[in-house]
Amino acid sequence: MNGGAGVASNEERLISLLDENLTIEGRSPGDPLNLDRNIAEAGVSSQDIAAFLRLVNEEFGTSISAGDCGDLLTPRSLLEYVEANAA
């Protein structure tokens, strides 16, 4: 038993998924992430956001619907959703 060492937090997993799949204006992958910045306002298309949310559903076992998308446009709001709804 390793006591949880090496297990990424939901925040780390979400940021990693974001870095691997989205390009946010003014930010390079691995740079600090402003959790309160709206990703739609940061140059991410609605199509890319929808695809990213499908990946989040797969990664965390959540069921984000199209109707939820408008409320989950900041990494913080998405993280809070994941923390409350992850399988």
Give this prediction's pTM: 0.84
Do 58 and 27 contact (CB within 8 A), yes or no? no
Q: How far apart are CA 45 and CA 83, in angstroms?
A: 25
Q: Give the tokens for residue 16.
A: 């990693």
pLDDT tens-digit map of 9-28: 999 999 999 999 999 999 99
pLDDT tens-digit map of 31-64: 999 999 999 999 999 999 999 999 999 999 999 9
Provide the CATH topology of domain 10-85: 1.10.1200
Q: How far apart are CA 53 and CA 1, in angstroms?
A: 33
